[in-house]
Structure 1
Amino acid sequence: MAVSRFRRGHLSPPEQQQILTQIGTKLLVEVPEDWERVTYFIQSVVDHSSAEVVVEFPDGTSRRESLPAEVFSLTDELRAGMYQEGKGTWFSMRYVISRPGKFNVDFNHDEDPGITFPTSQGFTKDLRYFPREEANIPEWLREKLREEAEGRADQL
């Protein structure tokens, strides 16, 4: 996430919906026509994201597909724009599109997203950019912040 490009907390619910629709449209342009269900899953902090797109077909098979570059940018804007003062923003999102084009999105604001980072200060930087009040910092995040502060994140 290129933090300098995205403002925090600026998206209204209709604007969030508009970005989600754009994400879905970009995803569907890239997948095979015979898709049955498309799942886009992303885990993110300020300096790092990991994502995957899985397409399921009517015969029960599935395969990973490439993620259009524009989707990362839209997702970064969505994550920053959904920030709530003192509450933070989400760490992961699961976006599922089912035929004929209905979608459902789940945001994870409080559970450990289960990702590892190429930098040792991923969660610390994220909390700096998306501050949370003490009451809104889950215990798993407190532990990640301690690991980073003590230099243990590099050893994991």
Structure 2
Amino acid sequence: MSRESADARQDELFRLIWDAMVEAAPPDWLRLDLMYMSVGDATELTLWGAWHEPELRSLDVPEPVELALQELRSTMYKPGEGTWFAARFYLTAPRQEFVIFDFDNDPAFENPIDPSEWRRDIALYPRDPQFVQKWLRELLT
């Protein structure tokens, strides 16, 4: 896939994710937060929303979102550098979008994942030694 077609596909995936977040929320939402973590075959996905109360409430994640996130993670892979372990999507009304990708830190799954998932992830998205952080190097040995 060329860089241009990969960028176009990423734009489509972003749009799908943002639109699905809005569709999952009630009409009077003020803020939506989606957190996705992925290592190997292990994933965690949560979606929260805020209305007029200050606390966040859990929302059901629309089905196509996880597939879109998995594909987005793959399309963002940089040879030798790897891809991100966690992504956080923030959406505030009326439609201000902000996303953070974490390529370098342990995503701290709620339930610890098997070390084999880290090896699987590195096999799927190889990293040159300078892009393997110390904590990850220790997990892999």
TM-score by length of 2: 0.90
Counterpart of 1:76 in structure 2 is 70
Please state if 1:110 is matched with 2:104: yes
Q: After the TM superposition, list the runs of 4 or more consecutive aligned residues in structure 1 that deviate by more than 6 angstroms.
A: none
Q: Deviations over 1:56-103 (max 9, x none)?
A: 112323200111110000000000010000000000000001111111
Identity %: 27
The alpha carbon displacement at 1:144 in A equals: 1.4
8 Å contact kept, 2:115–2:140: no
Segments of 5+ residues of structure 1 without an aligned counterpart are 1-6, 147-156
Please state if 1:38 is matched with 2:32: yes
Counterpart of 1:54 in structure 2 is 48
Q: Distance in 1 between matches of 2:140 and 2:4?
A: 27
Segments of 5+ residues of structure 2 without an aligned counterpart are none
TM-score by length of 1: 0.82
Q: Distance in 2 between matches of 1:110 and 1:10?
A: 25
8 Å contact kept, 2:40–2:119: no
Correspondence for 1:138 among 114, 133, 140: 133
Kindly tell me: are residues 76 and 10 of structure 1, through their superposed partners in 2, closer, same or farther at Cα, counting changes over 3 Å?
farther
The alpha carbon displacement at 1:121 in A equals: 0.4
Equivalent residue letter for 1:86: G
RMSD: 1.8
Q: Deviations over 1:96-123 (max 9, x none)?
A: 0111111100000001111221x44010
Equivalent residue letter for 2:13: I
Kindly tell me: are residues 48 and 68 of structure 1, through their superposed partners in 2, closer, same or farther at Cα, counting changes over 3 Å?
same
Kindly tell me: are residues 11 and 135 of structure 1, through their superposed partners in 2, closer, same or farther at Cα, counting changes over 3 Å?
farther
Q: Distance in 2 between matches of 1:84 and 1:32?
A: 37
Please state if 1:24 is matched with 2:47: no
Equivalent residue letter for 1:99: A
Q: Distance in 2 between matches of 1:136 and 1:74?
A: 25
